[in-house]
Structures are given as C-alpha cells and as structure tokens.
C-alpha cells in the first residue's frame, strides 16, 4: 500500500512532473518495434533488452541506493527482453465497464521454453509511469527483473487501473479492480507467452507494500476461480487497511512516516470515483485542504509545501473519533479493504520489518494470526521478520528470501 518515496515534496514533484505524459514511450523503449496482436484484443511490444551487466548493476548498486541497505543477491546469469502488454479488462465497481490496461512481461534469454512464472504486484507510486511496464522508472520492478528474470523466471506485473497507459482515474486500494487488473494481466500474459512458443511451469505471486495487499487479493480471487498458485509472498503488506489507517489517526507511533497523508488522499478520491459516492473525499478533508488533495490525486500542479503532513491539519477533526471514523462512508469502505480473511489454501509468507515506518508488526502478521485462530490452526500463512528494517529495507531484504523459497518449489 505504501509509498516508494519518503517525503511529501518527492510525492508532489512526482505527481506534477508526470502530468500529461502518460502516453510517451518509456526511456529506452524500442519505439520502432512492431505491436504484435494475439487473441481477444491482447497485444505486446518490445520496449527494451537488459544485458547481464545492467542486471547485476541493479543488484549491486541501484537497489542498495534505493533501499538504503546492502543485501546479497544471486547474480543474474542471462539477459532479459522486456515487453509491454496491452490487454482488455473490466471495472467491477462500474458494472463491468470495459477498459484497457497495461503491464510488463520480462522474458529471460535462455534456451529453455518451459519456465516458472512470477506475477509481481507493485507498491504505491505517485508518477503514473512509475510502474512495471515503464521499468526504467520503477526501482522495485528493476530489482524483480534482475533477481528473477535474470535467473530464468518469467516475470509479469500489472500497472493497475489508472496507471501506466490506462486512461481511467487511479483506483488506489480498490480491491475488486485490483483483482481484475492482475488476473486479467495473468490471462493476457499467458496468451503472449504461448504466442512466443513458451510456457510456464507454475505460478508464484509476490508484492511489496500496496502490492502486498494486491498480491493477497489476487490470490484470494485465483483460489476462488480454481487457478493453481504454487506460493505467495509479500513484504510490508497492509493486510487490513482499516487497522493501518486507524493507527495513523488514533494511535500514532513516533516513527510513523510523514507521507502517510498520501494514503488518505489516494484512497478517498479513488473510492469516490470507483464506488460512486460523490463528496466522499470532501467529507474527509478540511475546507482548506480539499482542493490541494484533489490536485494531488489527479496529478495537477500543486505546491508541495501547501499540503499538511500533520494529519490533524489535513483531515476533519471528527475522523479522529474512532467510532465516527468506523461509521462514516469512508470508514465503512476502508473496513472492507482487507486481504486475509478467507481460508487460505496456498503457502503464504508475509515478510515484515520490525521498524517499518508504515506497516506495523501487528498489521503485517494479520494473515498468520487469523488463519491460526481457526481451531487447531491453518498453517498456510506464515509471518517472517526481516529484522530492523525500514519500509524499503524490508522489501530489499525479503526479495532474495523469496527467490530461495520459490527455487525450492
């Protein structure tokens, strides 16, 4: 759920910098490459090729600079071709309105034709192109490409509705839309993989931050639909958004991130748009801050210093009453935004940081605790600490552990 940036200034600069640029090709994109059509409106285009040296530079230099910690990753052994996949989908909250979405497919350059497949769900970003199908703008995606596709895994990642080349408003933490975007991306990617005369030997799910929530939500839908998943991993996953936001409002910690205001901004306007509740966001923000919040959500220019980092200056005072928050239209929707309350059948590991400034240990362990509360306990969900790690550090430290676990499946 939570940001890939650390300051409000960085948030707003990212929002305003990308305004109006959604349809420009990614840096390094092969703009002259043909668009290849496959079945049912799915198409793909080569947007780049990363060699082994670039992949290993990501592992040894770029990721440590991004995450603030140095981890040991298994070096890349093969180059990777990168494709943007465009596919049709529908918006469940809008009576299955048709839409077009985008995502990334990373294909290892190796002789084998049957390969394991990882679906990665990205974290919160503020630039609409800081997503998988624009990998030059997504450090988290770069790490996944280098660690997995650079060692023989097929890797896919949906951009979510409203991100990448989607023309929809952003659907931040809108659960059914996240499920639809990711599962339709899986179907589209398998059609593309088949068109390349390749196949997958089994599916793994992964996600960081917001993407951890989305990965679990995707797993819930895939299990319901009877689609096999070998294992699922997350890092810093906000498994229960109501618990997470209540903490920021009513039980703040000394190390809470200053950028948590963005979570309220992105979710409230997304919920207003997708659930069709006019005035929802206006009911949350003060009269003085509403227009600033709206501009941030739609990526209009706004002075970053003008948006309060103090939640009590951004949000109306009544929302700091826990009972009022729970009974409000926004609070009721937030209470439904969870991705752990079903009987999990797939092996799951939820990684968390002991000093994560965004996700508490309690929120991160909710799947394990809920599953273990059933009689003798459902052992399929396990919470694992990455130690004294920040939000980014938790991701950086978890990824090589994900790889070791997947390799053994």
pLDDT, residue 22, reads 30
β-pairing, 348-352 vs 231-235, is parallel
Cα-flanking dihedrals φ and ψ of residue 32, to 5°? Answer: -90, 0
Find the largest Cα–Cα distance for the chain: 61
Q: Pull the structure tokens for residue 267.
A: 């979710």
**Whole-number mean pLDDT of the chain?**
93
Give CA torsion, residues 356, 357, 359, 364, to 10 deg: 20
What kind and span of H or E run contains 241?
helix 241-250
Give the pLDDT band of residue 248 (cuts 50, 70, 90).
Answer: very high
Number of other residues whose CB lies within 10 A of the CB of residue 213: 31
More confident residue, 8 or 217: 217
Q: Where are the beta strands (DSSP E) in 128-245?
A: 154-158, 199-208, 231-235
Rounded mean pLDDT, 199-215: 98
Question: For residue 365, is pLDDT > 80?
Answer: yes
pLDDT, residue 302, reads 86
Rounded mean pLDDT, 211-223: 98
CATH of 8-239+346-407, one of 3.30.930.10, 3.40.50.1820, 3.30.420.10, 3.40.30.110: 3.40.50.1820
pLDDT, residue 317, reads 98
Question: For residue 278, is pLDDT > 60?
Answer: yes
Among the listed ranges 14-28, 192-206, 259-273, 348-362, which one has the minimum average pLDDT value? 14-28
Q: Say which residue the tokens 């991701």 belong to.
A: 395
Give CA torsion, residues 74, 78, 83, 88, to 10 deg: -60
Give the pLDDT band of residue 39 (cuts 50, 70, 90).
Answer: confident
Model confidence over 156-192: pLDDT tens digits? 999 999 999 999 999 999 999 999 999 999 999 999 9
Model confidence over 317-346: pLDDT tens digits? 999 999 999 999 999 999 999 999 999 999
Q: Pull the structure tokens for residue 24.
A: 């420009």
Bridge partners for 48 per DSSP: 82
Rounded mean pLDDT, 52-80: 97
Give the pLDDT band of residue 30 (cuts 50, 70, 90).
Answer: low
Instruction: Give the angle 3-207-322 at the CA atoms, nearest 5°.
Output: 55
Give the pLDDT band of residue 15 (cuts 50, 70, 90).
Answer: very low
Q: What is the side-by-side order of every strand in the sheet holding 97-108?
A: 36-37, 43-50, 80-91, 97-108, 154-158, 114-121, 199-208, 231-235, 348-352, 381-385
pLDDT, residue 25, reads 40
Rounded mean pLDDT, 301-317: 92
Chain-centroid distance, C-alpha 193: 23
pLDDT, residue 32, reads 80
Q: Pull the structure tokens for residue 279.
A: 């005035």
Q: Which of 121, 122, 50, 33 is nearest to 84 (CA)?
A: 33
Q: Pull the structure tokens for residue 208.
A: 């960081």
Rounded to two decimals, the pTM is 0.93
């Amino acid at each position: 759920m939570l940001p890939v940036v650390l300051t409000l200034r960085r948030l707003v600069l990212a929002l305003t910098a990308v305004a109006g640029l959604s349809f420009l090709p990614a840096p390094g994109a092969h703009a002259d490459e043909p668009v290849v059509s496959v079945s049912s409106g799915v198409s793909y285009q080569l947007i780049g090729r990363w060699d082994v040296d670039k992949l290993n530079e990501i592992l040894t230099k770029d990721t440590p600079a991004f995450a603030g910690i140095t981890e040991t990753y298994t070096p890349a052994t093969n180059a990777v071709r990168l494709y943007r996949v465009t596919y049709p989908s529908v918006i469940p909250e809008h009576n299955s309105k048709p839409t077009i979405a985008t995502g990334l497919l990373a294909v290892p350059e190796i002789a084998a034709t049957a390969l394991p497949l990882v679906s990665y769900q990205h974290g919160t970003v503020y630039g609409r192109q800081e997503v998988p199908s624009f990998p030059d703008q997504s450090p988290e995606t770069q790490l996944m490409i280098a660690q997995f596709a650079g060692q023989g895994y097929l890797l896919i990642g949906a951009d979510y509705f409203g991100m990448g080349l989607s023309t929809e408003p952003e659907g931040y933490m809108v659960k059914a839309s996240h499920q639809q975007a990711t599962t339709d991306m899986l179907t589209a990617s398998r059609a593309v993989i088949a068109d390349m005369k390749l196949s997958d030997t089994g599916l793994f799910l992964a996600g960081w931050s917001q993407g951890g929530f989305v990965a679990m939500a995707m797993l819930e839908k895939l299990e319901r639909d009877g689609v096999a998943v070998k294992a699922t991993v997350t890092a810093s996953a906000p498994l229960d958004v109501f618990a997470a936001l209540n903490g920021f409002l009513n039980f703040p910690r000394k190390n809470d991130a200053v950028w948590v205001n963005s979570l309220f901004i992105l979710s409230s306007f997304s919920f207003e748009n997708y659930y069709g509740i006019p005035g929802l966001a206006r009911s949350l923000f003060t009269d003085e801050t509403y227009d600033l919040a709206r501009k941030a959500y739609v990526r209009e220019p706004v002075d970053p210093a003008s948006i309060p980092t103090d939640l009590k200056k951004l949000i109306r005072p009544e929302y700091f009453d826990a009972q009022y928050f729970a009974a409000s239209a926004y609070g009721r929707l937030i209470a439904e935004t969870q991705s752990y309350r079903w009987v999990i059948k797939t092996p799951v590991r939820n990684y968390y940081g002991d000093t994560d400034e965004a996700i508490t240990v309690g929120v991160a362990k909710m799947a394990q605790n809920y599953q273990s509360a059933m009689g003798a306990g459902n052992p399929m969900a396990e919470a694992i600490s990455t130690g004294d790690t920040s939000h980014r550090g938790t991701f950086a430290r978890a990824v090589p552990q994900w790889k070791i676990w997947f390799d053994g499946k």
